[in-house]
Amino acid sequence: MNGTQKLINTMRQLRDPKHGCPWDKAQTHKTLIPYFFEELHEYQEAVLEESPQSAHFQEELGDLLFQIAFHAQLLEEAQITSFDQLASKVADKLIRRHPHVFDPNAERFQDASAVEKQWEQRKQKEKSGQKTAWESLKKIPASMGALARAQRIGEKAASFGFDWENATQVLAKVAEEIEEINSSQNEAEAQEEFGDLLFALGQYARKRGWNAETCVSQCNQKFVSRFRAMEEKSTKVGLQLTDLSMDELESLWQSVKV
């Protein structure tokens, strides 16, 4: 028995009406959502902080796979589909949307951005008549992180030809938004312009091929690590951070950045 089948069988046993686990049997697609996001965030942290060779990294990916298997089991019980059918359908979609890999007669790409553009075009072609350009943007889940959603909105808009030519042009937009914050007449206007700035920064990341959420997550982690180093350094000389002046804190911050 391979690992995938073992996981599926285990999931079926956990949900067995007579001999399964009471907690697992009580779950629904909706009740599982918080656990899905929790596992996703834990895996994200492992990706950002650990090596793929680490046991913890692999464990977190396994936990995420379990969540997928759980939802698939619920669908199987409802006689809608199965894990195997879901896997087959997504494989078919990947093959269909990657003709440059699977079709020997298709155009080949050397650039990831060209592949991304073709992917969106093929999605639109497959769903022709079902969604307008606006509906494609609206379909992006509002539950996503705001910065990640901003970047995805930019990607979708670009697939319809609405985009900057390069990252340098986006930087000009970023500078424009900063100026508009500075010239705002009130707090509400400044807050709106700040949102525009964050959206523009998301598009700059997109044009550079970066993931904006990952960039911010890495920055957050870096700040936390350096703040911890500051506290440890001050504690060694018998001081708390609250004992230090702003100039002293800045000096300490600079020292841990090295």
Domain identity same for 209 and 219: no
pLDDT category, 129, cuts 50, 70, 90?
A: low
Q: What is the mean pLDDT of the chain?
A: 90
Q: What is the pLDDT of residue 144?
A: 83
Domain identity same for 143 and 165: yes
Domain identity same for 60 and 70: yes
Domain identity same for 206 and 221: no
Domain identity same for 200 and 108: yes
Cβ of 197: how many Cβ atoms within 10 Å? 19
Q: Which of the two residues, 134 and 38, has the higher pLDDT score?
A: 38
pLDDT category, 124, cuts 50, 70, 90?
A: low
Contacts of 210 (CB under 8 A, 6+ apart): none
Give the domain-ending residue among 66, 97, 128.
Answer: 97
Mean local confidence (pLDDT), 35-51: 89
Domain identity same for 184 and 237: no
Domain identity same for 251 and 205: no
Q: What is the pLDDT of residue 156?
A: 87
Q: What are phi and psi of 67, to 5 degrees?
A: -60, -40
**Number of domains, the chain:** 3
Could you give the CA distance from residue 216 to residue 222 in angstroms, rounded to a whole number?
10
> What is the model's pTM?
0.65
pLDDT category, 128, cuts 50, 70, 90?
A: low
Q: What is the pLDDT of residue 133?
A: 77
Domain identity same for 31 and 75: yes
CATH number at residue 73: 1.10.287.1080
Could you give the CA distance from residue 117 to residue 119 in angstroms, rounded to a whole number?
5
Give the CA radius of gyration of the chain: 24
Please spell the DSSP secondary structure of 16-64, one letter per residue: -TTTS-HHHHH--HHHHHHHHHHHHHHHHHHHHHS-TTSHHHHHHHHHH
Domain identity same for 90 and 15: yes
Whether 64 contacts 40, CB under 8 Å? yes
Contacts of 221 (CB under 8 A, 6+ apart): 48, 49
pLDDT category, 39, cuts 50, 70, 90?
A: very high
Q: What is the pLDDT of residue 83?
A: 94
Whether 32 contacts 38, CB under 8 Å? no
Domain identity same for 49 and 71: yes
Domain identity same for 109 and 184: yes
pLDDT digits (tens, 9 = 90+) for 194-250: 999 999 999 999 999 899 988 998 899 899 999 999 999 999 999 999 999 999 999
Domain region containing 252: 215-257
pLDDT digits (tens, 9 = 90+) for 169-179: 999 999 999 99
Domain identity same for 29 and 90: yes
